[in-house]
Amino acid sequence: MKQILRLGCTAALLTALAATTACGSDEGGGGSEGDDGTASFEFAIASAVIGPKEEVATYAVGQEQGFLDEERIEISTSNADGSVAALQAVASGSADITAADAGAILAARESGVPVVAIGGLVQNWPWVMAVPPESDIASAADLEGKRIGVISLASGSAMYARSLVANAGLDPERDVELLPVGVGAQAATALADGQVDVLALYTQAYTTIENTGTTYRYLDNPEEFDGIRSITFAVREDALESRRDELVRFLRASYRSMLFSAVNPEAAVRDGYAVFPQMLAGADPDERIEDDARTFATWMASATPATGEPEDFADWGAISEEEWTKTVDFARESGQISEDVEIDDVWDGSLLAEANDFDPAAVVTLARESAD
């Protein structure tokens, strides 16, 4: 896999992107259509693949279960250092599509970068604060004077922490201290050793820690966070016209793969091992599968409806106007954007009706019949 390097702070990068893409780029990530109608895509993954999440639920399952072949799609992947860098790859033409944070997409549009969201992935707010079971912190109102562990000061977890603190009536610049602690063992140690009083991570990260036997108590998020969207597919704006049919097929393969993953997370993780063997870090798959399947199921819970059975899920990728409005509000309040971004400028859901034109019962049957 190729590695897309981080190019500096968000604002400067997006400004540079706007200038670069204004000059024009016809490369489109090198995507092409073969003689048999097979379309190739360069998929910029917004992080290193160290655990099962969106790239497993969409690309790996699609590859191993034949959905990509059936849709005549070939995918190559590259890794980016976060959503901003992944969007940079798409905007510059070195990649064709990415699954990026919705707030980063909004920030890109505000800066004049010609990217557009075409289909949702993570639909339930994935961020939550955790404390040790014995902590006296019971709600966000108790965070005054506390140290909050975030992944990094430029991460989504920092934006979430600042927003939650402000929602509780506190000043995120004066009343709390944000400290970068990363994820996994590093974050767990920071909380256990008292370097921080609370963690602000995404649910899947906590499951990874809890797999080691650690337990946490979670603070309730206020209802204002319900409906805020997170990871979302994005492409260059001009691709909507030039590659419309190919994008429909890409999304259809991805959402078929998502349904398969929701029905059989363990089989999906094994597909992930086949496509991304680095997830195993040399370990025996049979020794890792239970923990990884549990971690992946947590991610899938954030990416699928909160109620109902997988076979009843419908309208994959849909994002309502109300959800976009809440996402814009959060992006503005957390400092990702300075003004409201018009929804029509950032979102085009016109591909989703065709992308959802598949037989869910057949996918469910395939998932249930797949060997563990």
Q: How do residues 298-332 score in pLDDT, each as one tens digit?
A: 999 999 987 888 888 889 999 999 999 999 998 88
What does the alpha-carbon distance between residue 323 and residue 150 come to, in Å, rounded to a whole number?
25
**pLDDT > 70? residue 353:** yes
C-alpha to C-alpha distance for 97 and 353, rounded to whole angstroms: 19
* Tokens of residue 11, six digits: 């604002």
Do residues 30 and 66 both lie within one domain?
yes
Q: Are residues 243 and 365 in the same domain?
A: yes
Token reading at 118: 């075409």
- Mean pLDDT in residue range 39-62: 87
Which position has the higher pLDDT, 157 or 62?
A: 62
Residues 342, 324: Cα–Cα separation, whole Å? 10
Residues 259, 203 share a domain: no
| Tokens (6 digits) for 180 | 């970068």
CATH number, residue 306: 3.40.190.10
CA-nearest of 255, 275, 239, 241 to 31 is 239
User: Are residues 218 and 233 located together in one domain of the fold?
Assistant: no
* Domain range for 279: 2-124+228-369
Instruction: Kindly state whether residues 75 and 144 are assigned to the same domain.
Output: no
Tens-digit pLDDT profile for residues 145-197: 999 999 888 777 888 999 899 989 999 999 999 999 988 899 999 999 999 99
CA 195-47-256 angle, to 5 degrees, is: 125
Q: What is the pLDDT of residue 184?
A: 86
Q: Are residues 244 and 103 in the same domain?
A: yes
- Contact assessment for residue 236 and residue 20, using Cβ atoms and an 8 Å cutoff: no
pLDDT score at 1: 41
pLDDT in tens, 101-129: 899 999 999 999 999 999 999 989 989 99
155 plus 267 within the same structural domain: no
Please report the beta strands in the chain, taking only residues with DSSP state E, as ranges in sequence order. 2-4, 39-45, 73-80, 97-101, 115-120, 127-131, 147-150, 177-180, 198-202, 217-218, 231-236
Which of residues 225, 251, 284 is at a domain's end?
225
pLDDT in tens, 253-263: 999 999 999 99
Alpha carbon distance 260, 262 (integer Å):
6
- How many Cα atoms occupy the beta-carbon half-sphere of 10 within 13 Å? 21
Indicate if the pLDDT at residue 26 is higher than 60: no
Contacts of 348 (CB under 8 A, 6+ apart): 116, 117, 118, 240
The answer to whether residues 214 and 330 belong to one domain is no
When divided into structural domains, the chain yields a total of: 2
Radius of gyration, alpha carbons of the chain: 20
97 and 150 assigned to the same domain: no
| Same-domain check for residues 212 and 233 | no
- Which of 210, 225, 240 is the C-terminal boundary of a domain? 225
Residue 5, CA distances (Å) to 9, 59, 68, 171, 242 in order: 12, 22, 28, 34, 28
Pair 140, 232 in one domain: no
Q: Which of 170, 199, 225 is the last residue of a domain?
A: 225
On whether both 36 and 62 belong to a single domain, the answer is yes
Predicted confidence at residue 334, as pLDDT, reads 81
First to last CA, the chain: 27
pLDDT band at 32 (very low <50, low <70, confident <90, very high): low
Q: What is the pLDDT of residue 194?
A: 96
Q: What is the pTM of this model?
A: 0.84
